[in-house]
Amino acid sequence: MPHDDLRSYLEALDGQGQLLHVEEQVAPEPDLGAAANAANRLGERAPALYFDNVTGFDEPRIALNTHGSWANHAVAFDLPPNTSTRGQVEEFIRRWENFPAPVERRENPPWAENSVSGGEANLFDVLPLFRLNDGDGGFYLDKAAVVSRDPDDPENFDKQNVGTYRMEVKGTDRLGLQPVPMHDIALHLNAAEQRGEDLPVAVALGNEPVISVVAGTPLGYEQSEYEMAGALRGTPEPIAKAPLTGLDVPWGSEVVLEGVIEGREREIEGPFGEFTGHYSGGRGMTVLRVDRISYRTSPVFESLYLGMPWTEVDYLIGPATCVPLYQQLRADFPEVQAVNAMYTHGLLAIVSTKKRYGGFARAVGLRTMTTPHGLGYCKMVIVVDEDVDPFDLPQVMWALSTKVNPASDLVNLPNMSVLELDPGSQPPGVTNKLVIDATTPVAPDDRGRYGQPVTDLPETGAWIDKLSSLIAERASENR
């Protein structure tokens, strides 16, 4: 059953042994951040964490690392927890085909149970906020779905955007929000600021797990995140109208903030330890004024630790980055077999493809860089043959070590665009990009001596089955 809110997802994680309730009293700092950091170092079956005994707080409820392992990511998609990484990506691709799935407008959202407005709206009264990393400039909301509409086309549901953007808490009703220029909210804000207006926004905290994934998925500008969430859930996404802004927010959210990004305002923000594994530096960033807070009774605050990969954010956006790149490449080049863009949100991507003719593979690499997501990420693209699994890194290393001659297989492109958070870019936002063609040359490209590859023996498949059953027999005898 798909989960309609965070609470039912937490129950499902618990049912699979993937939720660890820490009952002892902990300090808000550094314990909460350190515990989530530690969970990320426990491997593929790391659990989500739940804290409700934190020094100085009165009945806090804090969920961390809910997507932070392959097992958790599988539960989010209602799959068996032991589903392989590639299996999860393939299921994501299969469900994507059902886009767009209509939304369900549902009455009586639980977040309407309580609300405060105007001068009464105080973030600290509702959320048990805390710092994650030492150098962070403050406490952050880093796993919320931020909703906005195109000011030039406000009635257009498809152009309504749902995205995850980091927000620094700078006051009781004041946030600093980072709109990366490549992301849709930056387009909305740009239009509002050209018009001399504020941009109304709703911030949904503590959501069902699929919309959290979709909010970090690079969809097309006119693709609705809610209609994509419905496709991925296999049942419509329940949504409801937020009362102050009229924006559509998830029905099951724990907390909904409403307000505006103040037009043409910038204020010092950050630094924040980012998904790049580096701090962002301090920058003049937008200001979000909170005018209304709606919340479920006894709300659960969900947050996410991020730092040196891998951390929860890498699971949250890993498959979600692979699939749109795969779909966009396949639209032009059906020869593409698989895309693994799970490394730092696709700053590095690995693409496997068949070849039409010599030079084709590097064209696929270049096309990866000119997809909407590739413009801001995809700094390095490794292209491998169709029989190399891009999710099997030893195979990729084999391709790199044997199929590449640096004399002619590196395509180095100067002064390309990348998001400013890439710490290697200079100036920030500009970088060279590199295609590494690790495919076997095909005619008329006759470089190298690749005519005699060693392939698995024709009988190997049958022997895999035979050995597997012998091993299983022995295991059952030993029991």
Partner 1 sequence: MCPRCADENVSELTASPVPGVWKVLRCDLCLYTWRTSEPARRSTREAYPERFRMSRADIDNAPQVPAIPELRAEARGETP
- Residue 324 CA to its chain's centroid (Å): 12
Query: Given the rule CB under 8 A, which of 36-44, 125-133, 245-253, 440-448 is the region that contacts partner 1?
Result: 125-133
Nearer to partner 1, 170 or 292 (CB): 170
131 near partner 1 (CB under 8 A) = yes
274 is catalytic: yes
303 near partner 1 (CB under 8 A) = no
Query: Given the rule CB under 8 A, which of 51-59, 386-394, 401-409, 440-448 is the region that contacts partner 1?
Result: 51-59
Question: CA triplet 259, 165, 167: central angle to 5 degrees?
Answer: 60
Query: Given the rule CB under 8 A, which of 110-118, 279-287, 292-300, 318-326 is the region that contacts partner 1?
Result: 279-287
CA gyration radius for the chain? 23
Nearer to partner 1, 243 or 423 (CB): 423
In the numeric block, the tokens 């022997």 are attached to: 463
Q: How far is the CB of 27 from partner 1 (least distance, A)?
A: 7
Q: How far is the CB of 195 from partner 1 (least distance, A)?
A: 5
User: 208 near 4, Cβ under 8 Å?
Assistant: yes
Total residues at interface with partner 1 (CB under 8 A): 48
277 near partner 1 (CB under 8 A) = no
430 CB contacts (<8 Å, ≥6 apart)? Answer: 415, 416, 417, 418
137 near partner 1 (CB under 8 A) = yes
Q: Which of 137, 162, 375, 178 is nearest to 253 (CA)?
A: 162
Q: How far is the CB of 130 from partner 1 (least distance, A)?
A: 8
394 near partner 1 (CB under 8 A) = no
423 near partner 1 (CB under 8 A) = no
171 near partner 1 (CB under 8 A) = yes
324 CB contacts (<8 Å, ≥6 apart)? Answer: 217, 218, 219, 371, 373
Distances (CA, A) of 123 to 56, 173, 198, 199, 290: 16, 6, 21, 20, 9
Choose, by CB under 8 A, the member of 13, 32, 169, 232 that binds partner 1. Answer: 169
Tally the C-alpha atoms within 13 A of residue 207's C-alpha that lie toward its C-beta. Answer: 29
Q: Is 364 helix (H, G, I), strand (E, B) or coil?
A: helix
331 near partner 1 (CB under 8 A) = no
User: 26 near 56, Cβ under 8 Å?
Assistant: no
Q: Which one of 274, 302, 312, 420 is the catalytic residue?
A: 274
- By rule CB under 8 A, what string of x and - marks binding of each residue 30-49 to partner 1? x-------------------
194 near partner 1 (CB under 8 A) = yes
Spatial distance between the Cα atoms of 277 and 274, rounded to a whole number of angstroms? 6
User: Backbone dihedral region of 418: left (phi > 0), alpha (psi from -120 to 50 degrees) or beta?
Assistant: beta
- The catalytic residue positions are 274
Query: Which residues make up the interface to partner 1 (CB under 8 A)?
Result: 27-30, 55-58, 122, 124, 129-131, 134-135, 137-139, 168-172, 176, 178-179, 181, 186, 189-190, 193-196, 264, 266-269, 271, 279, 281-285, 420, 428
